[in-house]
Structures are given as C-alpha cells and as structure tokens.
Amino acid sequence: MIFSKNRKITIDLISFSLKYISTGQIGCYIIEFLYKELGFKHIGYQIENINGDTRCTLITLKDNKVPIQYFKDRCSGMIEEKVKTMKPIPHKFNKWQNGFEEVAVEEKFVLNKEISEFKGKPV
C-alpha cells in the first residue's frame, strides 16, 4: 500500500477578527503596508467562520521566511488595529499552479490612480 503525504504549501501567519473590517481594508493593508512599505511578497488571506466569529487568516508560502518572522513578533490585536486604519481599495488574487492565491493590485485601480495623479486630481 502506498501512502501519499498531503504536503501543505502555505503557512498561517496570523488570524484576526473581521468584526469591524472589510476585505478592501485587508487588501490595502497587504498591498500598501506589507508589499510597499515592508517589501514583503506573496501574501494572501483566507476568511473563515470559527465558532461563530468571522476571522481573517493571513497566509504565505512556507519558504517565505521574512514575513513569518515578522508576524511571530506581533499579536493579532496589533494587526487588527492597523488594518482598521486602512482605506479600502479594490484588489484581486493571482492564483498559482500549486493552488496558492496571493493578493495583487487591480490594474484598473493602478491605471486610474496614475491618470488622476497626472491631472492633479485626488483619487
């Protein structure tokens, strides 16, 4: 008999409550803060219902060591408060062949932002 190992390719970084948070704010936190300010890559999120509480779990690839270490030093309350301060933005997911889905910038949003900045109008 041959046994196949179910190898998980992702690791959970941190989980926090979605009681007062929208998915647009989560996308903004990942794109504007984690990607642009901290230089992280390949972050995604999953939303699940755990004992009646809707929670968001940030995930990444197992070999993505820098974000893993960053979130080991943070508590979920710190992350939740930071996400609450973010302005919601549209975002999409890039799906990899191995099943991992990372948050990505929506091209339409980036294009509109660049055009409006060129014209001197706020987004």
Cβ atoms 93, 103 nearer than 8 A: yes
Indicate whether 59 belongs to any domain. yes
pLDDT tens digit string along 48-79?
Answer: 998 888 999 999 999 999 999 999 999 999 99
Does the structure show a pLDDT above 50 at 116?
A: no
* Domains: count for the chain: 1
Q: Is residue 2 part of a domain?
A: no
In terms of pLDDT, which residue wins out, 114 or 53? 53
Using alpha carbons only, give the angle 46, 61, 69 rounded to the nearest 5 degrees. 95
Whole-model pTM: value is 0.78
pLDDT confidence of residue 98: 84
Q: Does 1 reside within a domain?
A: no
**φ, ψ dihedrals at 74, nearest 5°:** -120, 150
pLDDT of residue 114: 44
User: Which domain does 106 fall in, by range?
Assistant: 10-119
pLDDT at 25 over 50: yes
| Residue 30 C-alpha from the chain's centroid | 4
Note whether residue 85 is domain-resident. yes
3: Cα separation from own chain's centroid: 34
Q: How far apart are CA 38 and CA 68, in angstroms?
A: 13
